[in-house]
Amino acid sequence: MLSICTWKWGHLFSARHVNKLRAALDRHVHLDHRLYCITDNPAGLDGDIHVVPMPERFAKTPRCRRRMQQYDRQFASQFGTRTLTLDLDVVIVDDLTPLLSRTEPIVCWKVGHAQVYSGSFVLCDVGALHLAWVPFAGDPDGYPRRIEPRRIASDQAMLNYHLSRINPIPFWTEADGFVTYYGAGYEKLEAQGVGPNRSDLPPGARIVVLGSADLSVLDAGTHDWVREHWTSLPAGAGVRA
């Protein structure tokens, strides 16, 4: 059984985003799987979504650092033995089964234009990334500053720092069906993927990763692939109070 884990807190994402993700996974993942939502507000989530209370530790840290806990062996043990961590700002447009059938201990998507591993789609054995968690847990202020002295290091930055110091890991590329939606702030990179005002997807696309600044693309429904693979999905029964 594959456990698929997503995080929701605050007001940027709603139960509707989680419910639509669940519907997309049911449509495009032909493996036994369960969707877990780590959240501080389960209201409106479909009843078959497994709710995990949001840990209070690191709740006030910036740049989604609180999500580093998903790599903590003890925290992740509740998900079984194999997990996919998946962001909510994605549109699944084709079968993900070939991607999720990989068996290596860690597999990540290496983003072509940036040459970094994306934190939005990480497949791994539970505990395989525990050592990415340990230095942050031990020094949650100093460790991120050492990684990126001139910036506020995110959970993705800490993941990449860890992965850069171990043996090369298996990864997917855009050739495997990953598409970056080059929207707000990425217009200059339009030639490398889906860009503003374009409704076509590259051949072989399986999943489009937007970014929180482009959520309006989903509500607007101006692209065919959005209407087919997001707008048309059920928003959920909203059975949780």
Tens of pLDDT, residues 8-25: 999 999 999 999 999 999
3-state secondary structure 145-201: HHHCCCCCCCHHHHHHHHHCCCCCCCEECHHHCEEEECCCCCHHHHHHCECCCCCCC
For the chain, percent of residues with pLDDT exceeding 70:
98
Give the pLDDT mean for 204-213.
Answer: 93
> Tens digits of per-residue pLDDT, 137-154?
999 999 999 999 998 999
Question: What's the pLDDT at 198?
Answer: 73
- Confidence grade of residue 238 (pLDDT, cut at 50, 70, 90): low
Give the residue carrying structure tokens 């040459």: 115
- Note the pLDDT tens digit of each residue in 146-185: 999 998 999 999 999 999 999 999 999 999 999 999 887 7
* pLDDT at 240 exceeding the cut of 80: no
Supply the pTM of this predicted model: 0.94
Residue 117 CB neighbours (<10 A): 23
For residue 241, the model assigns a pLDDT of 54
Residue 196 has pLDDT above 80, yes or no: no
User: CA angle, 36 as apex, 32 and 38 as ends, to 5°?
Assistant: 165
pLDDT at residue 90 tops 70: yes
- How high does pLDDT run on average in the chain? 93
Distance CA 228, CA 158 (A): 35
Q: Residue 30 pLDDT more than 70?
A: yes
Contact 218, 183 (CB under 8 A): no
pLDDT given for residue 160 in this prediction: 98
For the cut 70, the answer to whether the pLDDT of residue 211 exceeds it is: yes
- For the record, the structure tokens of 227 come out as 């209407």
94 vs 114, residue with greater confidence: 94
Alpha helices, DSSP H, located in 1-77:
15-28, 73-76
Reported as a pLDDT band with limits 50, 70 and 90, residue 237 is low
What domains appear along the chain, each with residue ranges and CATH number? 2-173 (3.90.550.10)
Instruction: Indicate the pLDDT class of residue 239, thresholds 50, 70 and 90.
Output: low
The pLDDT assigned to 91 comes to: 97
- The pLDDT of 180-194, averaged and rounded, is 79
